[in-house]
Amino acid sequence: MASEYILNELSEALLEDLNESRRFARMARNQLIRIAKIIDIPQIIPSYLPADPKDNAIIQTALSGKVDYLTTLDTEILKLGKVRDVEIITPAQLNDRLGSEV
């Protein structure tokens, strides 16, 4: 599940944080588009993260996508714990849960 915001965040992180090439960022974005369901999110998004309002779109993507889990390493997002029916966990926690369900 991803939104245009998530796609843009991916590209930005690859280019600015990881110093990847524009070509690599474009290929990664295109790959995500191929494998993920891309959803629209509302123009006006409630405030879930007053300290980092730009990341409200991440929460809204999970809510709009009606997912069970939002997996992240972002400590501010993790502090929320749960928003409506979406539980916010780390990748390690997701791995543990998936392992116990197999």
Query: Beta strands 38-39 and 69-71: pairing type?
Result: unpaired
Give the DSSP letter of residue 43.
S
Burial class (CB in 10 A: 0-12, 13-18, 19+), 68: exposed
In this prediction, residues 14-33 reach a mean pLDDT of 97
SS3 content of the chain, % helix, strand, coil (to 5): 55, 15, 30
Q: How confident is the model at residue 99 (pLDDT cuts 50, 70, 90)?
A: confident
Neighbour tally for 55: CB within 10 Å? 17
Tell me if 67 sits within 8 A of 86, measured CB to CB. Answer: yes
Tokens 């474009």 — which residue? 26
Query: Which percentage of the chain shows pLDDT scores above 70?
Result: 97
- Looking at residue 93, its pLDDT comes to 96
- Looking at residue 101, its pLDDT comes to 63
Q: What does pTM read for this prediction?
A: 0.85
- Average pLDDT, rounded, for the chain: 94
Tens digit of each residue's pLDDT (9 = 90 or more) over 35-67: 999 999 999 999 999 888 989 999 999 999 999
Q: How many residues make up the chain in this entry?
A: 102
pLDDT at 3 over 90: yes
